[in-house]
Structure 1
Amino acid sequence: MLDVRRLRLLRELAHHGTIAAVAEALAFSPSAVSQQLSVLEREAGVPLLERTGRRVALTPAGRNLVRHTEAVLELLERADAELAHARRGLAGPLRIGAFPSAVRALVPAALAELSSRHPELEPMVSEVDPAAVAGALRAGELDVALVHEYDLVPGEPEDGIALTGPVFAEPLYLAARSAGALAGHRDSSWIVSPPGTLCHAMVQRVCQSAGFGPRVRHRVDDFAAQLALVAAGQGVALVPHLGTDRCPPGVVLTRLPLYRRTRTAFRAGSAAHPAVAAFSAALHSAVPAELRSA
């Protein structure tokens, strides 16, 4: 009989590509991961891995086993959801991931609503960039998370991860010291989020669509800080609606015909889990009416 815990390791290896990366993602030692995968190969009776330098590739049998593993894990999530429905009331921890502007603008109201309806539930919030959400969900570090995508940077599907439809959509703004079109800032200095984030990719794509590449001066992940730098004459920035609530004097916001859309993400099979469903309902109630209709 194949061990589900070892199958999880193989699944993570398919996503990360190296033993070291799997060990870091799951807080194991590399030797422990390697040992457990060797045991899984013996259980399977066929080679599952091919080592090429530091990277490890899956054999055809290994890839097929990962495909079956995704289905098995989804069924286990559904079983856990059914058991949760059989219990009386919601209790215990619910690990929630969210990006910073949502943590500030929406999550407090959602948690207040959640606590009023389910006082025994213990929500635990962590700031997580959407790019890191899938790995955190698969590793069990999160149960549900808010992720976003932009019109020019659509979200990529992830094995083992399910998404709701957009919970809300918010417009993007060009933040500058004076009003003007995006194309007029070809030679301006730009304030962007750090590389590797969706927000950084968004600025690159939006500027490219206007026919130029941004001349990046500052890399700052907090939208309030970006706006403060704009006010100080340090450049221009692109900021979504939730990031404009602390806009300082001297900054002009020009609305663009582009949107950022937020969804909830969770492990495939867990959509019906009552705690996940309760948080989703509380989040919907916390979204301002003007964003729900955007």
Structure 2
Amino acid sequence: MLDVRRLRLLRELARRGTIAGVAEALSYTPSAVSQQLSALERQAGVPLLERTGRSVALTPAALRLVEHADTVLAVLEQAAAELATARTELTGTLRIGAFPSAVHAILSPALVTLSREHPGLELSITELDPARAPSALHAESLDIALVQEYDYVPRDPEIGLDTEEFLTETVYLAAPNAEPLTAHRNSPWIAGTPGTLCNTMTQRACQASGFTPHIRHHADDFGTVLALVAAGQGVAFVPELGVQTIPPTVHLTPLPTRRRTHLAYRRGHRDHPVIAAARAALHSAARSLNTIAAMPPGLNHPVRK
């Protein structure tokens, strides 16, 4: 019978493309990954990897086996979820991944609810960019995570993960004055670090308006971004959750662009009691959010809706 742990390694290799990438994600050594995949080949009785120098490629048989691995691992997750429903109290560790602007606004009240209603749970929060969350879920270093997409940066479906709609935010242009986006084609810009969704969105949104932004500063904390705008260092895109306090010299112009957040978890894990409790607490916190959508220009604090 094929070893489930080795199937998981093969699936990760299909996702990441290199043995080194699999080793880093799952905290193995590259040699250990190679040994386990070689053992899987012997179990399967057919070649699974084509080795050329230091690179490897999956054979057609391996790609087919990866499809079965997704099904097998999802069924095992579902079986574990069904067994967990027999417990009278939720225990164990719940590992949640969230982007920085959600930690204060959403995670804090959700953690209060989870701690009160399920004191046997050990809660663990990891702050990370949403682009890294799928890999962490696959590696089982997270159980549930907040993932994102922007209108200009759609999210690719992830094999082995399920998602559900969670939150939609307006994206604002933060600038000294109320001017259209096209008025800032020659302005310096503030964006997230290269490789983040916020950085990609900034470039694509500006390009859709007919220009390429000159990015002078890189910052991932939106409080820092707004402080730089207030200091006259440039303009920036800021989603609703990123606005806690608005500096008096910063004007926010709502744009048609939206940021959409989804809850993500491993396939078959949705109805696990711990995941169900996390989903309920997170949705409740999101429904209680204060937003700035109804805020008239000139106010420097969000108003309650």
- The aligned counterpart of 1:19 is 19
Which SS does the other structure have where 1:2 is aligned?
coil
- The aligned counterpart of 1:231 is 230
Q: Distance in 2 between matches of 1:247 and 1:161?
A: 37
Which SS does the other structure have where 2:85 is aligned?
helix
CA deviation after TM superposition for structure 1 residue 215, in Å:
0.5
For residues 39-80 of structure 1, give each alpha carbon's deviation from its aligned partner in whole angstroms, at most 9, with x where no partner exists: 110111100001234321100000001110000000000001
Output aligned runs, 1:253-264, within 5 Å.
Answer: 253-264=252-263
Q: Tell me if 1:252 matches 2:260.
A: no
Which SS does the other structure have where 1:86 is aligned?
coil
1:290–1:258 CA distance, 2 compared to 1 (3 A): farther
* Runs of 5+ unmatched residues, structure 2: 295-305
CA deviation after TM superposition for structure 1 residue 249, in Å:
2.5
Q: Distance in 1 between matches of 2:52 and 2:273?
A: 44
Output aligned runs, 1:109-148, within 5 Å.
Answer: 109-148=109-148
Q: Tell me if 1:152 matches 2:158.
A: no
Output aligned runs, 1:259-278, within 5 Å.
Answer: 259-278=258-277
Equivalent position amino acid for 1:139 in 2 = A
CA deviation after TM superposition for structure 1 residue 212, in Å:
0.7
Which SS does the other structure have where 2:80 is aligned?
helix
Q: Distance in 1 between matches of 2:53 and 2:279?
A: 44
- The aligned counterpart of 2:181 is 182
Equivalent position amino acid for 1:12 in 2 = E
Q: Tell me if 1:63 matches 2:63.
A: yes
Residues 103, 127 of structure 2: 8 Å contact kept? yes
For residues 132-181 of structure 1, give each alpha carbon's deviation from its aligned partner in whole angstroms, at most 9, with x where no partner exists: 111101111000001111122111101001101x2121101000111100
Residues 47, 61 of structure 1: 8 Å contact kept? yes
Output aligned runs, 1:178-217, within 5 Å.
Answer: 178-217=177-216
1:204–1:53 CA distance, 2 compared to 1 (3 A): farther
Equivalent position amino acid for 2:31 in 1 = S
Which SS does the other structure have where 1:278 is aligned?
helix
* Runs of 5+ unmatched residues, structure 1: none
- The aligned counterpart of 1:51 is 51
Q: Distance in 2 between matches of 1:37 and 1:16?
A: 15
Q: Distance in 2 between matches of 1:126 and 1:102?
A: 11
Deviates more, 1:155-164 or 1:51-60: 51-60
The total of aligned residue pairs comes to 292
Equivalent position amino acid for 2:176 in 1 = R
Q: Distance in 2 between matches of 1:20 and 1:209?
A: 37
Residues 18, 54 of structure 1: 8 Å contact kept? no
Residues 137, 144 of structure 1: 8 Å contact kept? yes
- The aligned counterpart of 2:302 is none
- The aligned counterpart of 1:32 is 32
Q: Distance in 1 between matches of 2:145 and 2:220?
A: 19
Which SS does the other structure have where 1:224 is aligned?
helix
Deviates more, 1:109-118 or 1:64-73: 109-118
Q: Percent identity over the alignment?
A: 60
1:18–1:221 CA distance, 2 compared to 1 (3 A): same
- The aligned counterpart of 1:73 is 73
Q: Distance in 2 between matches of 1:9 and 1:153?
A: 29
Q: Distance in 2 between matches of 1:174 and 1:290?
A: 19
